[in-house]
Amino acid sequence: MNWLTNLIRPRIRSLVEPKEVPDNLWQKCSSCEGMLFNRDLIENMNVCYHCGHHLRIPVKDRLEQLFDEGKYDNITLPDVAHDPLKFKDRRKYADRIKDSRAKTGLQDAITIAKGTMGGLPVVIAAFNFSYMGGSMGTGVGEAILKAAEEAVKAKAALIAIPASGGARMQEGMLSLVQMPRSIIAVEMVKEAGLPYIVLLTDPTTGGVSASFAMVGDIHIAEPGSTIGFAGRRVIEETVRETLPDDFQTAEYLLEHGIVDMVVKRQELRETIIRIISLLTKAPAQEAVKKGNGTKGNGGKRGKAGNPKANGKALPGGEKAALKTEQKELAAKALKQVKAAQKTAQKSSKSLSAKEDLKEDTGQNAPGRSQAS
Ligand SMILES: [Zn+2]
């Protein structure tokens, strides 16, 4: 009967069963479960075109979306002693590192890069969530310091883009020490009078949210991102209360003054350029046009990223138009800053409430008090 099971059955099965779609063509939206065609999804900057849910994106795509013409220079990460504790749980920590490196092709859970945005110098430190949950160990802390040093050296704005589950527990105390260290790093940038902007993405939690990610000059968040310290369930079980549905989301934090603005991925680049330009009082050399690098552009910068196309080279009429456009943008941004100041006043209240909550839950972050 072997020929029946070995030959006939698979034949029949192949006739009856639906053909599987190659998994690199389609994927499902984790929010609305709508089917997403990968090519369209990439064109839409990995934002679901059914419900607007912002899916996580690889760091490489993120950097291409933000920098002028999608071009940037990677900064080599400092060498650190990995696995100083020779840690082992179910598996060796050294093996986990090896696996993550092979899977992502990256050295650690952070990538630092420099380039320009709107012609203005920028250093970006972005987390790789796919590398051990974007956890912060010695290597990541060292990289944040390096990014800050590079920003000071180049008189550039520093943008941190966390996507992290928190501290890397395999490094024990050494990972916790990175919290105050990262604070020292961004203090260097602030003391140099340079902007420090945080773009909170999904998820920003634990030790990362309790350190450098919460001390930016301006906090931007992507819609729907989970941002918090301890997990929802832990808090609920400790305070024995049901938390609101939108607890620990970007929108909830905006309402309570922790986040200054929630910005769609398609508008991130122009928003950040506008903020840097305002904070440094340097005009962005590239006209901040809507639609630049957004839908239909494959996430890559279009022709707009010509930093030399400003000022001298332009004929009078265009120059005037550019000026009025800049004025309008400045007015719009001023409004946003004023709104941010208002929420900041509110936030001092909610912050103290938050601290109380943490004390209640016994989840007070060690880095928090040092941070402020
Ligand atoms: Zn969706």
Q: Report CA(299)–ligand 1 centroid distance (Å).
A: 19
User: Does one domain contain both 230 and 112?
Assistant: yes
> Do 194 and 331 fall within a single domain?
yes
Q: How far is the CA of 55 from the centre of ligand 1 (A)?
A: 9
Question: Ligand 1 centroid vs 49 CA: distance in angstroms?
Answer: 7
pLDDT the model gives residue 51 = 96
How many whole angstroms from 202 Cα to the centroid of ligand 1? 15
- What does the chain come to in residues? 372
- Of the candidates 365, 356, 368, 369, the one whose C-alpha atom is nearest the C-alpha of residue 239 is 356
CB 197 within 8 A of CB 218: yes
Q: What is the DSSP letter of 280?
A: H
Distance CA 96, CA 155 (A): 37
Residue 10, domain member (yes or no): no
Q: Which domain holds residue 27?
A: 21-55
Q: Which residues of 160-178 are buried (b: 16+ CB within 10 A; e: fewer)?
A: bbbbbbbbbbbbeebbbbb
Residue 370 lies in a domain: no
Residue 5 is assigned to a structural domain of this protein:
no
Q: At which residue do the structure tokens 């090896």 appear?
A: 98
Distance 38 CA to ligand 1 centre (A): 13
End residue of a domain, out of 6, 30, 55: 55
- Measured in angstroms, how far is the CA atom of residue 141 from the centroid of ligand 1? 34
Number of structural domains in the chain: 2
Give the pairing of strands 73-75 and 196-200. unpaired
Give distance in angstroms: CA of 333 to centre of ligand 1. Answer: 30
Residues 236 and 181 grouped into a single domain: yes
Q: How far is the CA of 54 from the centre of ligand 1 (A)?
A: 8
Q: Is residue 9 part of a domain?
A: no
Query: Do 271 and 332 sit in the same domain of this protein?
Result: yes
Residues 169 and 269 in one domain: yes
Same domain, 173 and 266: yes
Question: What is the per-residue pLDDT for 324?
Answer: 62
CA gap 316, 323 in Å, rounded: 11
Measured between alpha carbons, how far is 78 from 97 in angstroms, rounded to an integer? 16
Q: Is residue 69 part of a domain?
A: yes
57 Cα: distance to centroid of ligand 1 (angstroms): 15
Residue 13 located in a structural domain: no
State both tokens at 308: 């030399």
Give 129 Cα–ligand 1 centroid separation in angstroms.
Answer: 21
C-alpha 104 – ligand 1 centre gap (Å): 26
User: Both tokens of residue 93?
Assistant: 């920590």
**Dihedral sign for Cα atoms in the order 154, 158, 162, 167:** positive
CA of 53 relative to ligand 1 center, distance in Å: 5
The alpha-helical segments, DSSP class H, found in 44-114 are 59-66, 93-104
Q: pLDDT at position 354, please?
A: 47
36 CA from centroid of ligand 1 (Å): 8
For residue 3, tell me if it sits in a domain: no
Tell me, yes or no, whether 187 and 266 share the same domain: yes
Could you tell me the distance, in angstroms and rounded to a whole number, from the CA of residue 106 to the centre of ligand 1?
Answer: 29
Residue 305 lies in a domain: no
Average pLDDT across each block of 10 residues of the chain; the chain has 372 residues. List them in order: 74 68 80 94 95 95 96 96 90 95 95 97 97 96 98 98 95 95 97 97 95 97 96 92 93 96 97 96 69 41 39 47 62 67 58 50 42 36
Q: What are phi and psi of 309, to 5 degrees?
A: -80, 20
- Contact (CB, 8 A) for 249 and 226: yes
CATH number of the domain encompassing residue 318 = 3.90.226.10
How large is the C-alpha radius of gyration of the chain?
Answer: 23
CA 1 to ligand 1 centroid distance, Å: 49
Residue identified by tokens 């999804």 is 41
CA distance from start to end of the chain: 76
Q: How far is the CA of 29 from the centre of ligand 1 (A)?
A: 5
One domain for residues 44 and 65: no
Residues 181 and 275 in one domain: yes
* Pair 164, 36 in one domain: no
In angstroms, what is the span from residue 245 Cα to ligand 1's centroid?
18
Question: Ligand 1: distance of its center to the CA of 33 in Å?
Answer: 6
Q: Are residues 150 and 44 in the same domain?
A: no
Q: Are 45 and 148 part of one and the same domain? A: no
